[in-house]
Structure 1
């Protein structure tokens, strides 16, 4: 009995984006030296990106065939975004962006300490005291290693 495959939400979109990326890489590989012969510098990147394009074309056509066969119900944008970008990932990404923005004004040690405490509280579901102790230990270890062992001045 043949098992039929169902498409996951967003699978067709991702395969199309990867096909476009593969075509871009193929174009860039061609621009390295053109196709003057088998010993030119761009032949390996051209071959590798050509394999990528061929594989992605196969995948896009296969996904199209599965969707046309009616095995996939049309998924709404919320379903796709819910699968690809869960709220926990979006919020943690925003925390990383905040860390990057506050790194210069607050300095490395304080900003890293705050980021770790908030990360442990959010992701690890630790208590405040435990999160502070673990973050302080990690920042202390980072400081000791980089300042004394590598002799690097941290910002």
Structure 2
């Protein structure tokens, strides 16, 4: 474990979470015909990101002092995920939430090193569909559906 990297990462992600929370406050609190406004997901994601960042920062103090271990930084994986995140944001409307989230999660799991294609595909599909159903059908929120060219 790289204590310094983890500390900087925790501060960075706490700031990103704070931007999410602040940005969600700029979004209207309710959408027409929806019980849940579009500000709820970014707000909760920001809060979760801040809490996880605080936990990571706290855990860095319990790291054992060992010799300087050099950890390989996966630059290739980082760049792939950065590009995938931008593509996810761009393609969310044109191809819909379920398809874009499924593709994003599948790529993310493979970049993180998941060897099993079946598990990767199953978890990515289940997460995409369950979140869509819960948010749109149960909470009556709005997310981009399937693209019109699918029928």
Q: TM-score, normalised by structure 1?
A: 0.42
Higher relative contact order (CA 8 A, sep 6+): 2
Q: TM-score, normalised by structure 2?
A: 0.43
